[in-house]
Amino acid sequence: MSAKIREYPGEEIKTRDLMEGRVPVVRWRPEAKYAWAAGVAMSRFLKELKMGRIIARRCRKCGRIVVPPRMFCEWCFRPTDEWVYVKDTGIINTYSVSYLAADATRLKEPIIVAVIELDGASKGIGILHVLGEVKPDDVKFGMRVKAVWEPPGKRTGAITDIKYFKPVQEA
């Protein structure tokens, strides 16, 4: 480093010092609440989820059928043309096995998350979801899976109306 520099600034403290009040701390919980308008595309998507179906949009120019649905095609930059239902089955594009919850605490039972390319959508078009009824070691790339839905009465119009995807035997 430049010869002029003797030491690098910064005074280290430990998290415990902060938690136990050995360092002056000011706490604040932000009041930040939002209610996002889902818009035309996602509102329909959520409505269809409530009815146990997954809906996508097709762009006639490039021919892609995309999910999550969107009113514009990002590659052609034009409005998408029509609604298309896709199946609730698909293959695993990639997956990982999580021992961490959203707040970084450890989980006893791991969550298996995967990107699932849905049947009926264009190749490579997938959604994120969790896998169930399968052990981590048994999951394979390209494995065929099917959605397990919440019963109709318990669906709220959310991605969690699908409980998880489970492996199915190839026909």
For residues 93, 49, 164 and 113, what is the CA-based torsion angle, rounded to 10 degrees? 40
Query: Given the complex with other proteins, which of 33 and 108 has the nearer CB atom?
Result: 33
Is the CB of residue 118 less than 8 Å from the CB of residue 54?
Answer: yes
Closest approach of other proteins to the CB of residue 170, in Å: 19
- For 121, which DSSP code? B
Q: Which is nearer to other proteins, 38 or 51 (CB)?
A: 38
- Does residue 135 contact residue 120 with C-beta atoms inside 8 Å? no
Q: How far is the CB of 88 from other proteins (least distance, A)?
A: 15
Between residues 77 and 171, which has the closer beta carbon with respect to other proteins?
77
CB of 125 to other proteins, least distance (A): 5
Q: Is 64 helix (H, G, I), strand (E, B) or coil?
A: coil
